[in-house]
């Protein structure tokens, strides 16, 4: 739907521009009322363009809802000025989109959305009253404004009814999936507990606390330890995947020190990178804003991304975590100089259980859940995630986080 919204807004801006162009070069009389309507139209258009450029229209459903509301106001006021009533065809589409943006839990906002088209329509109609000469033709001409609002409300009502029916159909499926997740979660917990005990026992034995080991025993225990750690990691990944898919999954947003989180990740991953003879580094500017995020989940996101890079690196490979800031907010990137991924597989990297080349040795150490979890967590933070890779040269995964711009801080 984001792609649909992007093209819908582009077409709207183009249609409004054409209507203003036609009006400007016509012989229409410019009155104070039309000047006021033109100013209002350009104000709403300017707000829409700012929301699109900064990508705020995609930050959350409320940003998208308000952007669509501003689009309606733009259509109505430019229709008043240019008298190009073909612009009103956007109203039913915008009304339906406005209702579909609102999640199920905000039922009051859904119902409010049914009446939203009437407000700008009546405002625009009020502006036109001084211009209407009370003739049958003119009254019929400008009745298109409230009629389009009613058409929008009708379209929104139909959309709401369709959504409710679809939600009712999904209830049994959701219950079935919830039961499946509960069973899987319980099994994973039951498996992880004895695995952790076995891992602790092996660590004690490898440290020589139970007596000296022969080289062959040490070799066998190392192999067992490696596989136990892989199974523990797999069980934790499955549990995290179940959690981010659940309806009760939430994040506690607050301004965080992203550099402190990155340093903690590098410190935590140091034994793993040293064991695999890899170099893990980080870089960030001296002054940077505080992103609004859940520190624990962002820590998990970075750990998953670093783990993903480690799987595709050879000894002496390099991983770098970098931070930058742009109009979208804070951009965190994890780059490596590993194997990369084929072009045809890039669109699937965020799919569950996708592991790329099935014959790659790197895929023996994971279940293909890491990036799908990362994507869900980032989206829960109202951020976006980007993936770039060149086969044989390396991979970069970047994600954005919204910013608390009131307080920038220096590296301490």
Burial class (CB in 10 A: 0-12, 13-18, 19+), 64: buried
What is the number of other CB atoms lying within 10 angstroms of the CB of residue 362?
Answer: 16
Angle at alpha carbon of residue 100, lines to 4 and 124, rounded to 5°:
85
Q: Using the 8-state DSSP alphabet, how is residue 396 labeled?
A: E
Which are the contacts of 395, defined by CB distance < 8 A and separation ≥ 6?
Answer: 309, 312, 335, 336, 338, 340, 341, 387, 388, 389
Which are the contacts of 365, defined by CB distance < 8 A and separation ≥ 6?
Answer: 230, 311
Q: What percent of the chain has pLDDT over 70?
A: 72
pLDDT of residue 339: 79
Q: What is the CA radius of gyration of the chain?
A: 28
Report yes or no: 289 and 401 within 8 Å, Cβ to Cβ: no
pLDDT of residue 366: 44
Element at 283 (helix H, strand E): strand 279-283
Through-space distance between the first and last CA atoms of the chain, rounded to whole angstroms:
43
- Alpha helices for 246-380 (secondary structure H): 258-275, 295-311, 370-380
pLDDT of residue 59: 66
pLDDT of residue 353: 47
Lookup: tokens for 148: 């389009």
Report yes or no: 292 and 407 within 8 Å, Cβ to Cβ: no
pLDDT tens digits, 367-399: 445 677 788 888 888 888 888 888 778 889 999
The CA-atom distances, in angstroms, between 301 and each of 5, 320, 321, 326 are 28, 15, 12, 20
DSSP strand pairing (403-410 vs 287-293): antiparallel
pLDDT of residue 177: 66
Name 288's bridge partners: 409
* Residues 366-369: contacts with CB under 8 Å, at least 24 apart: 366/233, 366/234, 366/237, 366/307, 366/308, 366/311, 367/234, 367/237, 367/238, 369/237, 369/238, 369/240, 369/241
Report yes or no: 206 and 220 within 8 Å, Cβ to Cβ: no
Report yes or no: 319 and 279 within 8 Å, Cβ to Cβ: yes
The DSSP-derived string for 24-64 is HTS-----HHHHHHHHHHHHHHHHHHHHHHTTGGGT-HHHH
pLDDT of residue 29: 61
pLDDT of residue 365: 46
The residue among 87, 92, 91 whose CA lies nearest residue 155 is 92
The residue among 329, 331, 280 whose CA lies nearest residue 309 is 280
Q: How high is the mean pLDDT in each 10-residue block of the chain (412 residues)?
A: 80 88 72 75 85 75 80 83 80 81 72 72 62 49 68 79 78 71 63 75 82 83 77 68 59 87 88 85 88 87 86 87 87 88 66 48 46 82 86 87 61 46
Q: Using the 8-state DSSP alphabet, how is residue 352 labeled?
A: T
**In angstroms, rounded to a whole number, what is the distance separating the alpha carbons of residues 52 and 328?**
11
**In angstroms, rounded to a whole number, what is the distance separating the alpha carbons of residues 12 and 14?**
5
Residue for token pair 């009051």: 108
Mean pLDDT (the chain) is 76
DSSP strand pairing (279-283 vs 318-326): parallel
254-410 CATH choice from 3.40.250.10, 3.40.640.10, 3.30.565.10, 3.40.50.300: 3.30.565.10
The residue among 74, 98, 91, 80 whose CA lies nearest residue 16 is 74
């Amino acid at each position: 739907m984001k792609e649909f919204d992007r093209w819908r807004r582009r077409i709207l801006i183009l249609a409004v521009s054409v209507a203003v162009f036609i009006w400007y070069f016509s012989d229409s009389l410019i009155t104070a009322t039309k000047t006021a309507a033109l100013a209002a139209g350009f104000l709403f258009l300017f707000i829409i363009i700012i929301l699109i450029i900064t990508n705020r229209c995609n930050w959350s459903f409320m940003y998208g809802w308000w952007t669509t509301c501003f689009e309606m106001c733009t259509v109505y006021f430019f229709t008043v000025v240019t008298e190009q009533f073909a612009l009103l065809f956007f109203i039913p589409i915008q009304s339906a989109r406005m209702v579909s943006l609102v999640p199920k839990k905000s039922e009051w906002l859904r119902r409010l959305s049914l009446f939203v088209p009437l407000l700008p329509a009546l405002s625009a109609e009020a502006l036109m009253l001084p211009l209407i000469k009370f003739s049958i033709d003119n009254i019929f001409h400008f009745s298109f404004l409230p009629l389009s609002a009613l058409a929008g409300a009708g379209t929104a009502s139909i959309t709401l009814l369709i959504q409710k029916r679809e939600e009712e159909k999904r209830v049994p499926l959701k219950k079935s999936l919830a039961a499946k997740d509960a069973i899987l979660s319980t099994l994973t917990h039951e498996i992880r507990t004895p695995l952790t005990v076995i891992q602790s026992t092996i660590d004690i034995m490898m440290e020589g606390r139970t007596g000296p080991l022969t080289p062959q025993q040490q070799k066998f225990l190392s192999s067992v330890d490696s596989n136990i750690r892989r199974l523990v990691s797999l069980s934790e990944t499955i549990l995290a995947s179940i959690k981010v898919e659940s309806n009760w999954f939430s994040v506690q947003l607050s301004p965080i020190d992203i550099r402190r989180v990155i340093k903690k990740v590098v410190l935590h991953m140091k034994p793993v990178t040293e064991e695999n003879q890899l170099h893990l580094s980080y870089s960030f500017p001296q002054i940077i804003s505080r992103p609004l995020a859940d520190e624990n989940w962002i820590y998990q996101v970075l750990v998953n991304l670093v783990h993903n890079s480690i799987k595709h690196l050879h000894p002496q490979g390099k991983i770098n975590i970098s931070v930058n800031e742009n109009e979208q907010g804070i951009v965190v990137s994890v780059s490596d100089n590993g194997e990369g991924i084929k072009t045809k597989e890039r669109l699937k990297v965020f799919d569950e259980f996708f592991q790329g080349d099935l014959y790659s040795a790197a895929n023996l150490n994971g279940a293909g859940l890491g990036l799908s979890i990362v994507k869900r967590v980032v989206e829960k933070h109202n951020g976006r995630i980007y993936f770039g890779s060149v086969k044989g040269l390396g991979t970069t995964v970047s994600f954005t986080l919204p910013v608390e711009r009131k307080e920038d801080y220096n590296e301490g």
